[in-house]
Amino acid sequence: MTEMICPYDQCTGCGACAAVCPKHCITMSKDGEGFLRPAVDESECVSCGACTRVCPVNGKPEKHVIRYVTAENTDSRVLRRSSSGGVFAALAGVILKEDGVVCGAAQDDEKCVVYHKIVREGENLPELMRSKYYQSDTRGIYRDVRKLLMAGRTVLFTGTACQIDALCHYLGELHRSRFLYTADVLCHGVTSSLAVGAYLEDQEKRYGKTIRHFRFRVKKGDGPGAQWKQGGGTRMRLSFEDGTALLQDQALDSFFCAFNSNLILRESCYSCPYAGSGRVADLTLGDYWGADPAELTKRQAELGLSIVSVNTKRGEELLRKAAGSLEIHPADAADARRANLAFTRPQNRPNERSGIFEKIKTRGFDRTVRSALRGYYFRQTVKKILRGIVHHPETE
Ligand SMILES: Cc1cc2nc3c(=O)[nH]c(=O)nc-3n(C[C@H](O)[C@H](O)[C@H](O)COP(=O)(O)OP(=O)(O)OC[C@H]3O[C@@H](n4cnc5c(N)ncnc54)[C@H](O)[C@@H]3O)c2cc1C
Ligand code: SF4
Ligand code: SF4
Ligand code: SF4
């Protein structure tokens, strides 16, 4: 029923329509690819049009940009547990110290879902840290944020740009409240819990063990072999119920091969209206792929460095408050944009995307991805043979 509110392929699954409906007759439910979409109970609908008006897809995003900086958290422990430069944790730390709350994406490993939640205590912040590459469910969160803002509580809301825009549309004029800060991840797209679940199922078959936990971008830590390498050195960590764990290299892990090749993204991500140098949030956080590897410090190369697009005065203010726990340097706008495609345009949709979820459901994840990316796997195998390397996932 998405079409009733906005064009099907452009629906981002942000959930603003469900949040605003006065009759509570919109439910966000999974489509055949596992992505959340609104379903309207027409018997309850009073045709008030609130859902169509709030839907960000029916408007034009309000975008801004002021300048770019590179940033890294000064605490190596935090940096190691973050996907890139640990900027999110620094911003969140400031807000929590001021008795505010932080909202972001947490993962339920057992149910294999990501959902937005509010954190009030620093000890719970790790739940929101690290990138989870499948779409977060925003159920109930916009309403909770509005209540907190109305009560004069400071809120840092983080997520993808479509979620930030959804919050702003839902809040109306309240989104200009001095109590609200927003930060988006420099998102090139999300996949669904169906894709992640199918991937995990195949890994369990492959290793003959049940997976208890999984983390998408693990830095191996200090010491030999530690590497972030502008994100490329991070690994998938699979932790099994027998207490063992494996680290799978991005170049050969089937999830990352599919995700980084844009095979399994949500349809709306291929025409994302938020891609580009102007942004909807106060701050935008990404991996700094534009850095010259020769100029990175050993710590940056091993543990990560972020690019931050400072988009509004509120963003400047929050970054200034967090400066005590970040090493910040100005960054060249052209370098930042050249290296991170999401600062320029949406990702290309490969032809193999058509019907990929049906194939995943019938043939399984690994087989489908290997078949769709035959050329890629062939090149990787040739590279390994030439270098005399046999790939075995590392144990932890
Ligand atoms: C789906 C996705 C795609 C991305 N694509 C790119 C890219 O193409 N290029 C690039 O440079 N950077 C990309 N990033 C951003 C990058 O991976 C880091 O998240 C970002 O640089 C922040 O890193 P950090 O070390 O400061 O914080 P971290 O602790 O690593 O990240 C935590 C932050 O990520 C948010 N988050 C995590 N998972 C989700 C999710 N599923 N939905 C919404 N928010 C989430 C949390 O709410 C929190 O704000 C992407 C992130 C995500 C989630
Ligand atoms: S038109 Fe009004 S009542 Fe009907 S689904 Fe939309 S918001 Fe709900
Ligand atoms: S408000 Fe969001 S979830 Fe609802 S139709 Fe529009 S894009 Fe889709
Ligand atoms: S690419 Fe765009 S539409 Fe897709 S999740 Fe990211 S911000 Fe939303």
Amino acid 123 reads E
Ligand 1: nearest atom to the Cα of 287: 11
Residue 218 is predicted with a pLDDT of 86
Q: Average pLDDT for residues 317-328, to the nearest whole number? A: 98
Q: Average pLDDT for residues 311-323, to the nearest whole number? A: 98
Q: Which two tokens mark 289?
A: 């792929």
* pTM, rounded to two decimals: 0.95
Quickly count: other Cβ atoms within 10 Å of residue 111's Cβ. 10
- Which has the minimum average pLDDT: 40-44, 231-235, 316-320, 337-341? 231-235
d(CA 98, CA 73): 19
pLDDT tens by residue, 47-70: 999 999 999 999 999 999 999 999
Q: Are residues 43 and 126 in the same domain?
A: no
**Ligand 2 center to 210 CA (angstroms):** 43
Q: Are residues 25 and 152 in the same domain?
A: no
Q: Are residues 104 and 164 in the same domain?
A: yes
114 lines ligand 1 (CB under 6 A): yes
Confirm if 336 and 330 have CB atoms less than 8 A apart: no
Ligand closest to the CA atom of residue 42: 2
Ligand closest to the CA atom of residue 14: 3
Q: Average pLDDT for residues 28-48, to the nearest whole number? A: 97
273 lines ligand 3 (CB under 6 A): no
pLDDT band at 384 (very low <50, low <70, confident <90, very high): low
187 lines ligand 4 (CB under 6 A): yes
Quickly count: other Cβ atoms within 10 Å of residue 242's Cβ. 9
**Ligand 3 center to 14 CA (angstroms):** 5
34 lines ligand 3 (CB under 6 A): no
Ligand 4: nearest atom to the Cα of 275: 2
Residue 388 is predicted with a pLDDT of 60
Q: Are residues 192 and 291 in the same domain?
A: yes
Among 58, 79, 96, the domain boundary falls at 58
26 lines ligand 3 (CB under 6 A): no
Indicate the length of the chain as a whole number. 396
190 lines ligand 4 (CB under 6 A): yes
Q: Are residues 7 and 27 in the same domain?
A: yes
pLDDT tens by residue, 153-168: 999 999 999 999 999 9
Q: Are residues 34 and 174 in the same domain?
A: no
Question: What CATH number did the domain enclosing 29 receive?
Answer: 3.30.70.3270
Ligand 4: nearest atom to the Cα of 265: 4
Give the structural domain span for 306: 61-396
d(CA 1, CA 42): 10
Ligand closest to the CA atom of residue 230: 1
Among 41, 58, 75, the domain boundary falls at 58
Q: Average pLDDT for residues 242-271, to the nearest whole number? A: 94
Mean predicted lDDT score pLDDT of the chain: 92
101 sits in which H/E element = strand 101-108
Going by CA atoms, what residue is nearest to atom 22 of ligand 1? 285
231 lines ligand 1 (CB under 6 A): no
Structural domain count of the chain: 2
Q: Are residues 306 and 283 in the same domain?
A: yes
Ligand closest to the CA atom of residue 186: 1
Ligand closest to the CA atom of residue 276: 4
Ligand closest to the CA atom of residue 270: 4
| Secondary structure of residue 391 in the 3-state scheme | coil
Q: Are residues 245 and 269 in the same domain?
A: yes
Residue 379 is predicted with a pLDDT of 77
12 lines ligand 3 (CB under 6 A): yes
Q: Considering only CA atoms, which of 41, 13, 14, 37 is closest in space to residue 26?
A: 41
40 lines ligand 1 (CB under 6 A): no
| Secondary structure of residue 52 in the 3-state scheme | helix
Residue 394 is predicted with a pLDDT of 63
Q: Considering only CA atoms, which of 163, 89, 91 is closest in space to residue 129?
A: 89
**Ligand 2 center to 57 CA (angstroms):** 16
Measure Cα distances from 212 to 130, 131, 241 in Å: 17, 18, 5
pLDDT band at 21 (very low <50, low <70, confident <90, very high): very high
**Ligand 1 center to 391 CA (angstroms):** 28
pLDDT band at 280 (very low <50, low <70, confident <90, very high): very high
346 lines ligand 1 (CB under 6 A): no
Residue 395 is predicted with a pLDDT of 62
160 lines ligand 4 (CB under 6 A): yes
Among 58, 87, 104, the domain boundary falls at 58
Going by CA atoms, what residue is nearest to atom 2 of ligand 3? 14
Q: Are residues 144 and 32 in the same domain?
A: no
40 lines ligand 2 (CB under 6 A): yes
56 lines ligand 1 (CB under 6 A): no
264 lines ligand 3 (CB under 6 A): no
Q: Average pLDDT for residues 274-279, to the nearest whole number? A: 96
Confirm if 44 and 258 have CB atoms less than 8 A apart: no
Residue 188 is predicted with a pLDDT of 94
Q: Are residues 6 and 120 in the same domain?
A: no
For residue 94, pLDDT beyond 60: yes
Q: Which two tokens mark 5?
A: 């509110």
Q: Are residues 366 and 346 in the same domain?
A: yes
Q: Are residues 93 and 76 in the same domain?
A: yes
For residue 223, pLDDT beyond 60: no
Ligand 4: nearest atom to the Cα of 187: 6
